[in-house]
């Protein structure tokens, strides 16, 4: 069992408001500042939708409303550019479009590993950054998220299930 990857379900949120996209802001010494979607791992006995709701509460202190599942993707940490930092993980990612009540005050209750906060970024800025060279780009996303955002916002070619393993 030593070299086996454990399969884990995760839920990720696409939260847009006023033409902005909400990201979790993270920082690691070897990587610098980068952005991820809110979300995290499913707990035993929890539906994937409940996972999404719990993670939005923990990371952002909001009562999210899950609208629709955008896609299901696989993620294997050893294929990730930060694999030197991340334990061996094989995750099935369920990505949802979510919203929240504007009366909710966003704060973070429980930081994830490396989380330093959250940030609303104009969708036009995200799209512009995705069209730039990754090296010179001011906004840093993990490659798998960058690829997803290009599919979602630029090529609009999201399939319900991605056959590619990221």
* Rounded Cα distance, 78 and 163, in Å: 17
* Rounded Cα distance, 36 and 49, in Å: 19
For residue 8, what are its two tokens? 């884990």
Higher pLDDT, 59 or 101: 59
**Would you mind telling me the total number of residues written for the chain in this entry?**
166
CATH of domain 6-165: 3.90.79.10
Judge contact between 49 and 22, C-beta under 8 A: no
Beta carbons within 8 Å of 1's beta carbon, 6+ residues apart: none
Where exactly are the structural domains of the chain?
A: 6-165
Q: What is the mean pLDDT of the chain?
A: 81
| Predicted local confidence at residue 44, as pLDDT | 94
Flag whether the pTM goes above 0.85.
no
Residue 86 has pLDDT above 60, yes or no: no
Q: Which of 92, 51, 50 is nearest to 75 (CA)?
A: 92
3-state secondary structure 29-64: CCCEEEEECCEEECCCCCCHHHHHHHHHHHHHCCCE
pLDDT band at 146 (very low <50, low <70, confident <90, very high): confident
pLDDT in tens, 35-82: 999 999 999 999 999 999 999 888 888 888 999 999 888 877 666 555
């Amino acid at each position: 069992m030593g070299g086996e990857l454990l399969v884990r379900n995760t839920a990720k949120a696409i939260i847009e408001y006023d033409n902005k996209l909400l990201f979790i802001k993270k920082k690691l010494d070897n990587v610098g500042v980068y952005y991820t979607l809110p979300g995290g791992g499913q707990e035993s006995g929890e539906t994937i939708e409940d996972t999404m709701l719990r993670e939005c509460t923990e990371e952002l202190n909001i009562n999210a409303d899950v609208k629709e599942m955008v896609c299901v993707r696989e993620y294997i940490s050893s294929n990730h550019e930060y694999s030197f930092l991340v334990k061996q993980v094989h995750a099935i990612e369920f990505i949802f479009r979510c919203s929240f009540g504007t009366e909710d005050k966003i704060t973070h209750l429980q930081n994830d590993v490396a989380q330093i906060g959250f940030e609303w970024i104009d969708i036009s800025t995200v799209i512009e950054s995705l069209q730039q060279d990754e090296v010179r780009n001011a906004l840093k996303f993990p490659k798998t998220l960058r690829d997803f955002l290009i599919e979602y916002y630029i090529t609009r070619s999201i399939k319900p299930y991605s056959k590619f393993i990221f």
